[in-house]
Amino acid sequence: MNPKVDFFFDEATQWQEEYVLLRKIVLECKLTEELKWGCPCYTYEDGNVVLIHGFKEYCALLFFKGALMKDPEGILIQQSKNVQAGRQARFTNAKEIQQLKKTLKAYIQEAKDIEKAGLKVAMKKTEDYDVPEEFQQYLDKDAELRRAFEALTPGRQRAYLFFFGQPKTSKTREARVEKSIGAILDGKGLND
């Protein structure tokens, strides 16, 4: 146990019993406990393996390279279609965690073995992302915008494509594109 992480468990207003139980299970798997992103993160030789975190509806054990795991029990969830590597095991009460204790230990060991082996999740490249029609129209009309977008780093390009493609309505997608044109022309990323 890392004393720097204790506050997470001591001050939790929701999921406290579940967090403590998850911590016990993970530590029995001989991982190093650290504090990352304000949450308990468990590593093997400096590689992130699992993280404990919570949301309003559930708490979860996040497997950083869960996409590479076998998941014979079908408990791993992809948070959204855009999450490429991580997978969550979600819980709404301590009883669920207790019932899955043996399974969780096996999954944690598999995640640890993946980290030991140095395996990596093949991430999508920028060209694998769809360019929303509303943005493509602007790119087709404006060579300066096209050059500015192509000059952005791949990560900045992906962030914009993801941001533009999220809304369900064309009107909202177009509004996002229009709002972002100035930043793209200035060579800035979505969150710069």
Cα(191)–Cα(120) distance, integer angstroms: 27
Q: Say yes or no: 105 and 34 in one domain.
A: yes
Read off the pLDDT of residues 94-148 as tens digits, 9 standing for 90 and up.
Answer: 999 999 999 999 999 999 999 999 999 887 777 777 899 999 999 999 999 999 9
Identify whether residues 109 and 154 lie together within a single domain: no
Q: Which of 65, 66, 67, 42 is nearest to 52 (CA)?
A: 42
In the prediction, which pLDDT does 141 show? 95
User: Same domain, yes or no, for 75 and 111?
Assistant: yes
SS3 sequence of 69-89: CCCCCCCEECCCCCCCCCEEE
Task: Identify whether residues 21 and 61 lie together within a single domain.
Answer: yes
Range(s) of the domain holding residue 168: 126-185
Q: What is the pLDDT of residues 30-88, one digit of tens each?
A: 999 999 999 999 999 999 999 999 999 999 999 999 999 999 999 999 987 767 899 99
Number of domains in the chain: 2
Q: Among 116, 144, 168, identify where a domain stops.
A: 116
CA distance 138 to 76: 39
What is the reported pLDDT for 123?
78
Q: Is 134 within the bounds of a domain?
A: yes
